[in-house]
Amino acid sequence: MEENQGYHFKTFSGVFLPSILTIIGVVLFMRLGTIVGTLGVAGAIGILIFAESIAIATGLSISAISTNTKVESGGPYFLISRSLGTGFGSSVGLTYFISQSLAVPFYMLGFAEALAISYPALGKWTLLLSFIPLVILFAIALVGANWAIKTQYAIFTVLILSIVAIFAGGFAHDPSLAKMSENLHANGGLKVDVLVFAANFAIFFPAVTGFLAGVNMSGDLENPRKSIPFGTIAAIMVGFVLYLAVILLVGAAFSRTSLIDNAYQTLLDGAISYTSIFIILGVVAATLSSALGTLIGAPRILQAFAADKIFPVLNIFSYGRGKSREPIIAMIVTFLISVATICWGTRTAHSSGGNALDAVAGLVTMFTLSTYAIINIAAAVEDFAANPSFRPQFRLYHWTIGAYGAIASFVVALFINPSLMLVAFAIIGVIFLIARRRTLETNFGDARRGYYFEHIRRSLTRLAAMPVDKKNWRPEFLVLVGGDLKHLELIRAASLLNNDRGILSVGRLLIAQEKAAAKRHDAIRKLEEFSRENDILFFPTVVAIHDETEHDRALTILLQSRNFGPLTPNIILSGWPSRPERVAAFGSHLRVIQLLKMNHLLLLNSLSDSLTTGKTIDIWWRGRKNGELMLILAHLLSCNWILEKKSIRILRIVAPGEENTAHRELTQLVDNARIPAETVVIASRDPFPVVFRQYSRNAAVVFLGLVVPQEAETVAFYQAMDQLLDLMPKTFLVSSAGDTDIDS
């Protein structure tokens, strides 16, 4: 569970409630009926499904990202910047802040329009009707998010009553299949003008953008990893069902003419007795609650962005008041943007004869689509790139979902307003380039090999300049082999552990007193043939030495020099000596690798068939020193199709009476690691070999921690391991250099 300094809201109050109150907004009351009348029930449902598909894809993407990292304040900005870096993070941060700042005046103009329709005498006071509640909401937001969230419970109650009133009025008008048939298609036919459809989609789309309101509160949630996915997906699905039900209701209960002329007035006129007041209160509550939620959430995005000090000119917005760090300065900026947009929307409507609400809706839609596209790209890239650190606790995700969400967002933006889309993406591009501070290079070679060489050269150069972080850790194996079958099994094992996530190299020290070059070339050729025949991609290296006395020195040089710029082997995999006379040299190699601070794996029982006959992947836990690397390697191993049905078990032996504490620690470990694993706590005073053989004799693979023995202890260590693992499954002894972090 993440620690934060915010309000510690739970799933309902912190995510679901702000999200659903923003989703049940001005579109439901003021525009949905008009869309049904214009496009027909089928057209309206088509818009709903398409818009919701983008929302669901984005919701799944944000759920995957939020359950894969420690979540702090900043909502989508924080999540994307920690996934794709400052370039994309900055683009999302500023773009989404702008879209949210524009959403506030959108809700306020909806509020003013609703009052003007309900009370026509107020029609000439649209500007004032937008400003007064905005100032009041701004004052409430300044008091603090905690108080504002509490007021939303009352607003939620009013919304429920208003929805009940809408349905009661609709059913009172005798909904029928005949009316539904009349309203099924636009103008009684199947064809809809593309521009009309695009205009109505742009007006409707803000109705499905509210689900990020809960994500905006990420720094104020008690458990963001749990609350964001559950609260977000629940709000999206509840909103979908509600909008679908209202579309079907108004399509079956009211005439096309009344819906097109004034859908909101139609709902009021259709209300039973005096329940129309609930509908009026409902639209008031919907618009004001959406605006309040956005006034609270948007400044937190700007504050988190400013706190990262990417653009020094914005540093002032990182200021926060009190222990909860209320973003006062950022809130003032949001308020000023809202005021300016209301003035612009009202003036545009007066000069063009249009509608201020619809004018602002287009802007909100465009900037929100840009945000959604980047969110989906971030999640898709994380999953497609197969970073070992991408282990979201939210499992219902595949990179194709993010790809669809990104492509759909782009297509819809292009469909609605190509000019405004180009402006939005140009702004995003400029922000991205400034944040990344990079210069594009275009000097590619003419031939294919020249292109690949240049691309790899530039990529390696850029990779070398990037700071190393445990979150980006990948396995880069160097397998030490000889020439027999047992050593070739080492390569197969390394390929399974690597699982196409890193780079696999194979090194061999070859004793060649005569014709060293020819023998070295022949050894490389045989390794390359093995690579092709077994479809295992690796880079072979053979070092020719004169005799055994050069072995340690040659190994030390090989381990230090085998690299491709920043791509340096971080895991050495070697075998177990089968001849007692090799034990002394074996112990020396262990200590050389430890001295160089490299991770080291030893594979025992390499010819065992336990991969196919065994049932589990067992990790014997004695602490994080070697345990973190063992857990990550077990996860990578389980991702192979050969072992995907083998469950991971973390086994720990404790003294009787310590079971509960040990179980809690292992459960927390698995939760933080985001790796599905069974925890097995064994209370026993029996010797380890007895317990070990009892529990792991039927495993597919076993991981044991390795403590490198001193020179005088090498023979005893060798004999003890030989005895312990006799007739046991494939076993990896793991010595970690401490460069992995399962919490990343």
pLDDT tens track for 501-536: 888 999 988 888 788 889 889 988 988 888 888 888
Is 194's pLDDT higher than 80? no
**Residue at a domain's end among 451, 467, 483:** 467
- What is the predicted pLDDT for the residue at 448? 47
Distance CA(605)–CA(728), nearest Å, equals 7
Better pLDDT: 446 or 730: 730
- What is the predicted pLDDT for the residue at 5? 52
- What is the predicted pLDDT for the residue at 128? 86
Express each pLDDT in 565-618 by its tens digit: 788 888 999 999 888 888 988 898 899 888 888 899 999 998 889 998 999 999
Is 458's pLDDT higher than 90? no
Contact 259, 32 (CB under 8 A): no
Is 681's pLDDT higher than 90? yes
- What is the predicted pLDDT for the residue at 361? 62
Question: Are residue 459 and residue 490 in the same domain, yes or no?
Answer: no
Distance CA(505)–CA(598), nearest Å, equals 15
The pLDDT confidence band at residue 454, using thresholds 50, 70 and 90, is low
Domain, as residue range, for 499: 473-575
In a domain, 21, yes or no: yes
Question: Are residue 398 and residue 516 in the same domain, yes or no?
Answer: no
- What is the predicted pLDDT for the residue at 440? 35
Question: Are residue 405 and residue 482 in the same domain, yes or no?
Answer: no
Question: Are residue 607 and residue 543 in the same domain, yes or no?
Answer: no
Q: Are strands 571-575 and 701-705 parallel, antiparallel or unpaired?
A: unpaired
Better pLDDT: 465 or 712: 712
Question: Are residue 422 and residue 509 in the same domain, yes or no?
Answer: no
Is 445's pLDDT higher than 70? no
Question: Are residue 431 and residue 447 in the same domain, yes or no?
Answer: no
User: In the numeric block, which tokens belong to residue 169?
Assistant: 């009025």
Question: Are residue 453 and residue 481 in the same domain, yes or no?
Answer: no
For 80-89, 166-175, 419-428, which range has the lowest pLDDT when averaged over its residues? 80-89
Distance CA(48)–CA(218), nearest Å, equals 27
**Residue at a domain's end among 541, 559, 575:** 575
Distance CA(408)–CA(404), nearest Å, equals 6
Is 687's pLDDT higher than 90? yes
Residue 60's nearest CA partner among 378, 410, 385, 294 is: 378
In a domain, 590, yes or no: no
Is 538's pLDDT higher than 50? yes
**Torsion on CA atoms 335, 339, 342, 347, rounded to nearest 10:** -160
Question: Are residue 251 and residue 147 in the same domain, yes or no?
Answer: yes
Contacts with 417 (C-beta within 8 Å, 6 or more apart), sequence order: 198, 202, 362, 366
Distance CA(496)–CA(384), nearest Å, equals 19
Question: Are residue 566 and residue 452 in the same domain, yes or no?
Answer: no
Distance CA(54)–CA(392), nearest Å, equals 21
CATH code for the domain of 710: 3.40.50.620
Radius of gyration for the chain, computed over Cα atoms and rounded to the nearest angstrom: 32
DSSP state of 564: B
In a domain, 593, yes or no: no
Better pLDDT: 367 or 692: 692
In a domain, 513, yes or no: yes
In a domain, 1, yes or no: no
Question: Are residue 177 and residue 33 in the same domain, yes or no?
Answer: yes
DSSP state of 709: P
- What is the predicted pLDDT for the residue at 512? 83
- What is the predicted pLDDT for the residue at 58? 94
Residue 377's nearest CA partner among 68, 662, 80, 73 is: 80
Distance CA(40)–CA(44), nearest Å, equals 6
In a domain, 587, yes or no: no
Percentage of the chain with pLDDT > 90? Answer: 29
Express each pLDDT in 588-603 by its tens digit: 889 988 888 889 999 9
Query: Among all chains, which residue has been given the structure tokens 């409902």?
Result: 282
State the chain's mean pLDDT as an integer: 84
Query: Among all chains, which residue has been given the structure tokens 């998010």?
Result: 145
Contacts with 631 (C-beta within 8 Å, 6 or more apart), sequence order: 619, 648, 650, 673, 675, 677, 742
Question: Are residue 565 and residue 713 in the same domain, yes or no?
Answer: no
**Residue at a domain's end among 424, 450, 467:** 467
Which burial class, exposed, middle or buried, applies to 663 when counting CB atoms under 10 A from its CB (0-12, 13-18, 19+)? middle
Question: Are residue 369 and residue 454 in the same domain, yes or no?
Answer: no
Provide the number of structural domains found in the chain: 4
Q: Are strands 476-481 and 503-511 parallel, antiparallel or unpaired?
A: parallel
**Secondary structure of residue 707 in the 3-state scheme:** coil
Q: What are phi and psi of 256, to 5 degrees?
A: -60, -40
Is 423's pLDDT higher than 90? no
Distance CA(207)–CA(360), nearest Å, equals 13
Q: Are strands 616-620 and 599-604 parallel, antiparallel or unpaired?
A: unpaired
User: In the numeric block, which tokens belong to residue 484?
Assistant: 């027999």
Contacts with 179 (C-beta within 8 Å, 6 or more apart), sequence order: 251, 252, 253, 254, 255
Is 446's pLDDT higher than 70? no
Q: Are strands 616-620 and 647-654 parallel, antiparallel or unpaired?
A: parallel
- What is the predicted pLDDT for the residue at 734? 95
In a domain, 151, yes or no: yes
In order of 652, 688, 717, the CA distances from 697 in angstroms are 16, 13, 21
In a domain, 583, yes or no: no
- What is the predicted pLDDT for the residue at 161? 93
Query: 0.85 cut: is pTM over it?
Result: no
Amino acid at 71: V
- What is the predicted pLDDT for the residue at 467? 75
Amino acid at 519: K
Contact 122, 377 (CB under 8 A): no
Most confident of 59-73, 349-363, 379-393: 59-73
- What is the predicted pLDDT for the residue at 130? 86
